[in-house]
Structure 1
Amino acid sequence: MGDKSIKDEDTYEALRDEGYSKSKSAAIANAQANNSVDHDSTPLEDRTMEDLYEQAQELEIEGRSDMTKDELIEAIRDKN
């Protein structure tokens, strides 16, 4: 790809292969390269349940399917 805005090409390509969008793949790859869990600048409280669930899945948070929005936010912050 060679895009200088992508900090972790391997992660980016793996995420693209899994079906993630270009922008989501770039955000996740760059966050991992920066060792940052919060790969989206949107505050956790302003994100959708779907976004929080996806991030919880990426962080391998157990029990995420049964969590409320507040519980997901707390679990994501605990992993940070």
Structure 2
Amino acid sequence: MPEKKDPGPSVKNKKTYEALRDDGASKEKAARIANAQAKGNIDHDSRKLEDRTKEELYDEAQEIGIEGRSDMSKDELIAAIRDS
């Protein structure tokens, strides 16, 4: 098996990053998810997205790198988070 290239210091959870890349995720998406998980921002808020405030949704969207979040409504933020 060929040696995998180190994704660099910006990726905080390399194991998750590599697993996501192996599953076909883009480098950008794998890095966003791996870093959010390393920061503890994934799976810690068990409330439904609809039960969160727009500010909470905005913060989550920011953490996972969703572009255009400033102009999004609460429903659009929810959809963007689910699609990421």
2:63 maps to which residue? Answer: 58
TM-score, normalised to structure 2's length? 0.51
Greater C-alpha Rg = 2
* Residue 69 (structure 1) aligned with residue 74 (structure 2): yes
Q: Tell me how far apart the structure 2 counterparts of residues 61 and 51 of structure 1 sit (CA, whole Å).
A: 14
Gaps spanning 5+ residues in structure 1: where?
1-10, 12-30
* Residue 48 (structure 1) aligned with residue 28 (structure 2): no
| Secondary structure of 1:62 counterpart | coil
| Secondary structure of 1:42 counterpart | coil
Q: Tell me how far apart the structure 2 counterparts of residues 55 and 39 of structure 1 sit (CA, whole Å).
A: 11
Number of matched residues? 49
| Secondary structure of 2:67 counterpart | coil
Cα 1:77/1:69, change in 2 over 3 Å: same
What root-mean-square deviation, in Å, do the aligned CA atoms of Structure 1 and Structure 2 show? 2.4
Structure with the largest fraction of helix: 1
Counterpart amino acid of 1:50?
E
Q: Tell me how far apart the structure 1 counterparts of residues 56 and 48 of structure 2 sit (CA, whole Å).
A: 11
